[in-house]
Structure 1
Amino acid sequence: MKPRWLDAAAGLALGTGLLYACGHYYRQSLLGELGLSVEQFAKGGDALILFGFHAGVFGGIEYMFVGVVVMYVLLVAIGTWALIGAIPWFRVRLRAKRIQRLRHPARRRIRRRHIEAMPAFKTIDKFASAVPAVAFLFLAILLALICAESMGRKHGRDVIADFDGQARAILRLRNGARLHVGRVLVCDETTCAYLMRGGVLILRRDQIVSASIPRRP
């Protein structure tokens, strides 16, 4: 495989992992704000990736703003570096510095070459050149996770604040009872959680016989 295909594969794997992590933190904070837990309503990896995509694109202005700022800073840094290399004045200055370094005493150059040839120096030099990129990448990932968790909490608070106490559905249970419930908060293959005036009601799907929408006055 060519290096660019390896870079693309690494970027795809990193992006997928970031979406998965953002979806996990977004859903965990959302359910925690509603008094639920991730263990009660488990989701697969594909669903968590969709949650992460939702948090990143449709989650709110705050999350998108941070993503735009990070991308903008990265583009400005790349553009500045390219501009410096393209402007003749900067090119002349860089070439002058190189010539000045070449005019150092021969003994100093020999000693410097001896140090640069040491394996430990090469390792430290490679590590030092990679630290800024790794630090920037780590900071961007950390900001994305923090914003995803913040958006989950905000969404949970908005759901509770917007609830007007009106029933959204009437559920008929197997024991003959009829329940007026609010909006559906979350569902999985076996259980559903409904918002009620007194809190959150959790029902198993096999307890529900039918559901109907109440008539509005």
Structure 2
Amino acid sequence: MPSSSQLLYPAVGLLMVVAIIELSFVSATVGFLHGPASGTFPFTSDGATIDLKGEPKDLMTDQGHTSNAAAGTAFILIGLGGSIALFLRSRPNPSNFAIYFHHLWVLVNVLSFLLTFGALVYVFVVTNRYAGQTIDAAVTAGLDGEKYDEGTWTPQGWFSALLELDLVNPSDRSKISSIVHITQGWQYNLIPFFIIHLVETSIAIWDALQRRKTVSLVESSEKTAA
């Protein structure tokens, strides 16, 4: 059976992969909001063409920031920081600094996992709460260039609702369809992210306990020999 250390390295690597995927999805969403969504998407309704702002007045983005924070923490502190902590801890006769740094990393692991769990719950609760809304074409006709101000929206819900409109430009539909998949990507990627982080954190704690047990046995043997 592989040792805890042998399992921990690939677990940390896999966590970094799923974290960078999450960061990429969220970054792509932010880029779209500051890019195409900062303009207008014309659509037709009752024979008239209406230019609708690419994002509504009340667009919730906190859940995206939370997912981004969870992924960034996992990648930088657990992934990169963990690589350093495990390297220092695995050296013969590790220094007190290496031991304390490793203990700190294990603690941060637990906190990072809790942040990931919180992000998972938060994103799904908020997204499901505001799912299934539709854009009222009659309201958009009187906006006069202002952002759509009816209701509260998530990126997933808003862009999905845009696809229900009779968009004038096929390229707009293609762009919006792509961003819908991306927003759903960072939502559902939180599930494997959570599972992998749970496994990785469990192995990290197990490995720390194993190392502590080994050190205690060595110290006990040295005292007996003395």
Structure 2 length as normaliser, TM-score?
0.31
Query: Larger relative contact order (C-alpha < 8 A, sep ≥ 6)?
Result: 2
**Larger Rg computed on CA atoms:** 1
Query: If each structure's helix is expressed as a fraction of its own residues, which one has the higher value?
Result: 2
Structure 1 length as normaliser, TM-score?
0.32
Query: If each structure's strand is expressed as a fraction of its own residues, which one has the higher value?
Result: 1
